Amino acid sequence: MLLQQFDQQFKKFGLGGSSDRFYGDSYRRSTEHHEQQIISIVTYDRAEGLELDAPFISVRLDQVEELIAEFEPRSPLIESKDIAQRATIGFRLEPEGLLGIFRKSWMLNSEQDAVKAADQFVPHVMKHAIPYWQKFSDPAEVLKLLVEATQSSRVFLGTPAMISKRAIALGLILGGAEKAREIADLKLSTVKGAAAKREVVEWIERVFTARSPQTSTDLPKST
C-alpha cells in the first residue's frame, strides 16, 4: 500500500524501487558517472500501526565500492548483493543532537494514511536529497568529505575503518598512488583499535601490491 504510493511519487524523480528481505526498501537512480543516488526507507511495526520514520539519503560511487570489495578478504557471509547495498556517503534525514526527538514521522493504519503520508514524505525528502546529490555529484567533494570525517561523525555510513578505505580508494582513483598514500597516512590516525587498524593496513597493502608493486614497500604500518 505505502510502497505503491512511493513507486508513483518517486518515479516522477526518476527513482526506481527495490525491496530486500534483509536490507528493506529503497529507491535509487543511476547517473552517467557510475554513481547511484539512494533513498532508504525506514519503517517500524508498532502496536498502533506502521510507523514511517526518517529515511537515509546516500550516494554510492560504484568504482569506490568495487575497489574496496576487490581487495577485501573473501567471506562466505558477504555476497555480491551485500556489496551492492553499500553506500559511499550518506546521512539520516533528522535533526541532530537533542533536536532528534522532534524528527518527522508518520503513523499509518489505512490506505488513506498511506496516500497522505506519501504526498508529504516524498517532497519533504527530495527537498533535501536533490541539493545533497547535486553537491556530491563531484567526486572531489565526496573525497573532501571522507578525508575530513572523524570517528565521531554521524553523517557517514560505515565504521571508521570503512570510511578510511573509501577515502583511500577514491584518492587512488582521482589522484593516483601518491594521493592515496597521503590520505592513508592521515586516515589511519582516525581508526581506533589494533584489529581495525590492521584491517585497513592489510587492505592498503593488497591494493598497492596489485596496483603498484614497485612502490608497495612504502606503505603505512599499523602501530
Query: For residue 190, what pLDDT band results from cuts at 50, 70 and 90?
Result: confident
Q: Residue 218 pLDDT > 50, yes or no?
A: no
What is the percent of the chain with per-residue pLDDT over 90, rounded to a whole number? 76
pLDDT of residue 153: 56
pLDDT tens digit string along 87-137?
999 999 986 654 455 568 899 999 999 999 999 999 999 999 999 999 999
Query: For residue 220, what pLDDT band results from cuts at 50, 70 and 90?
Result: very low
Supply φ then ψ for residue 143, to 5 degrees. -60, -45
pTM strictly above 0.85: yes
> How far is CA 80 from each of CA 56, 84, 135, 197, rounded to the nearest angstrom?
22, 6, 28, 25
